[in-house]
Amino acid sequence: MIGSLLLAALAAWAVGAGVDLAAGPRPTWGRGGTYLSGMIGSGLTAAAGVLCVLDPQGYFSLGSTLGIGETLLRFDPMAGLFLTLTGGLGAVVSACMLSWSRPEGRLHGRGTGAGYMLLLGSLVLVLVAGDAFTFLFGWESLTVAFYVLTGARRADRAQARASWATLGLGKVSGAALLLGLLLLAGTSHSLSFASFAHVPPSGVHDAAFALLVVGFWAKVGVIPFQVWVPLGYPAAEGPARAAMAGIAANAGFYGLWRFLGLLGRPPIWIVVLVLVLGGITALVGIAFAAVQSTMSRTVAYSSVENAGLITVGYGVALAGSLTGSSKLLAVGLLAASLQVLAHAVAKSALFASSAMFSSDAGTDDLEQLRGVGRRHSVSGAAFSLGALTLAGLPPTIGFVSEWFLLEALLQEFRLHSLALRLAMALAGALVALTAGVAALAFVRLVGLCILGRAELPEGPAGSTSERAAKVLDGGVTGRGGLVLLGTSCVGLAAVAPWVVRYIALGLSSAVPQAATASALRSPWVLQPVFASFSILSPSWLFVVMPIGFVAVGLLAVAMSRGGLLRVRRVPAWRSATGGVAGPDRYSLFGFANSIRHVLGNVLGHEHSVTPIEVEIRHDGSARGTGEPHVEVSSSVVEPFEEYLYRPIGALFLRVAGAARRLQSGRLDAYIAYMLVALVAVLITVAVIR
């Protein structure tokens, strides 16, 4: 039954890809058919995922379908958990793509729909793969899908650079996974995942573990592989960014979970590295997100932050695996899985909703999107709920996941290794600092972009102001998808105990279900797996917070005898002063300026101040336009791109230039090269003997 559902899903996506490649983006029926197929296939995938969790069927052999060894599929609870998330979000994002692509001119040529279908299909293959070759085949197909989505509209050099950066880091990821899986296959003498569980602790085991972690890190954007994320996600079209960040990125986390269950105890240095780099990634990601000037790059950098948070939870699980503590393993994987869920839903909401109002307004610039929520009620509300979720504020699922993560890090006193305790303490401090900066970053977006006062500039027909007046706000299916995404951000928190039960079933392949289920203190109260520790009831919080808000409001009005309702009202975010408009108003740049200075060493902040002088002539006229003022320019430097990848790229170009000169040499020079190489080989062989 599960195999039949997934086969039907793959067939639906194949039809959608064929329609996109054959019809292109111009006919309305072509766009509708493509993404309608995406919705159908995703719904079938979600149903298959639920069946995998509730009624797992183990391995299923397809013979030598892919040509190398036996092709195995694995229908177990962990695959079902991620299939459920993939299918549910795939259906919603497909609905958003269907509405977003309806207006003429939104899509630029063929490829986006086919790339989107390839992304969904290859992700499903990764999730159900039961052998190394099938897994790598799906993984490389996913890299190709990323390249197609980021390169579909290659209108300028920046977009071409983004697609090549995405492909390059994807190949680094694939190469690391290939080497790691080859080491495991060479030791176990089989390509089956089941055989990898019998690889004994050794240097080969540790090297393979490290290579697999690096490979999955490159896909999700953990330092130092995060440079492609702020380039690749914005290069995709519309809600396809949500598919990349909210759906496909989960393949990396699935791989980490899967191989932790297979390989068992990691070396201690990997655990320490994962915890420290996860915390640093979270802080660096949110710091760069807080100072960006475009919507897409801001949301993309927040994906780096969430990758770091999830990695920290995974590090806690590694510490539990290393020390043999099933409860610490359970609380780490549960915290990381809840963070994966919160990030997937909220990031899909942010990218899908921002695609709606950015396309309507004709710009991605934050300053020009000020007050966009007043014209886009549905997409603005979905964006706000997603932002509150990623900021970790109650009563959203993001608050529940970050509470679990911090509680998991507080269990460091149970460890006896000083290195592990220090690593968890450092990661906890970095996560706490990240949470504070995240609140500032997303308040900036919600307060100024969504709730701010809209002031559209005047311009000729067809200008930004005219396009902004044509508000579509997603269309029918798009609004339905955005409503589902927005309500999921708070609805999942309301039913958090049931979510934990489902995740406990899904994680049973890596950690005993009883250990994860210990997070349920009572049917509606959660605890961080360990008894006699702090507790939380998100369900009651979901009820108590609105009641408390209403009660406090009514009491304040009663005690002020109605005076509270007669306060002076001013436009939002105007420094509490009415009448301030134009260049003197409080801007998104100004709101983030404190972050630029406080975290200047992290951001590589550079700024310059240029006084602009105006010469006053004797007749009272001025040379130039405007009044005397000071121009302030500010920029941030991506340290890993500037100091790691650019020098490597320059070295590669120099080596390529030298090779090109050798290629254009003379015949006698080539013979001399061959003679030198032959002599070197003979000397080496003689020394070895």
pLDDT of 335 above 60: yes
pLDDT confidence bin for 469, thresholds 50/70/90? very low
Give residue 498's pLDDT. 94
Of the chain, the percentage scoring pLDDT greater than 90 comes to: 41
Residue-level pLDDT at 656: 78
Question: Is pLDDT of 517 > 80?
Answer: yes
Residue 25 has pLDDT above 80, yes or no: no
Q: Give tens-digit pLDDT for 47-92.
A: 999 999 998 887 777 777 666 667 888 899 999 999 999 999 999 9
Identify the pLDDT of residue 580.
Answer: 53
Q: What is the pLDDT of residue 343?
A: 95
Tens digits of residue pLDDT in 529-580: 888 788 888 888 888 888 888 999 889 888 888 777 776 666 555 454 445 5
> Do residues 234 and 296 touch, judged by C-beta distance below 8 A?
yes
What is the H or E stretch that residue 354 is in? helix 326-361
> What is the DSSP code string of 44-97?
HHHHHHHHHHHS--EEEE--STTSSS--EEEE-HHHHHHHHHHHHHHHHHHHHH
Please give the pLDDT value at position 617.
46
- Asked if 366 contacts 449 with a C-beta cutoff of 8 angstroms, the reply is yes
Q: Report, in angstroms and rounded to the nearest whole number, the Rg of the chain calculated over CA atoms.
A: 27
Q: Above 50 in pLDDT, residue 219?
A: yes
Read off φ and ψ for residue 677, nearest 5 degrees: -65, -40
CB 55 within 8 A of CB 75: no
- CA 603/CA 229 separation, integer angstroms: 16
How does DSSP assign 89-132, residue by residue? HHHHHHHHHHHHT-STTSS-SSSHHHHHHHHHHHHHHHHHB-BH
Which of 135, 164, 124, 92 has its CA nearest to residue 11? Answer: 124
Evaluate if residue 354 carries a pLDDT over 80. Answer: yes
Q: Which residue has the tokens 């962990």?
A: 78
* pLDDT tens track for 104-139: 767 776 788 889 999 999 999 999 998 899 999 999
Mean pLDDT of the chain: 84
Per-residue pLDDT at 600: 65
What is the spatial distance between Cα 315 and Cα 264, in angstroms, rounded to a whole number? 13
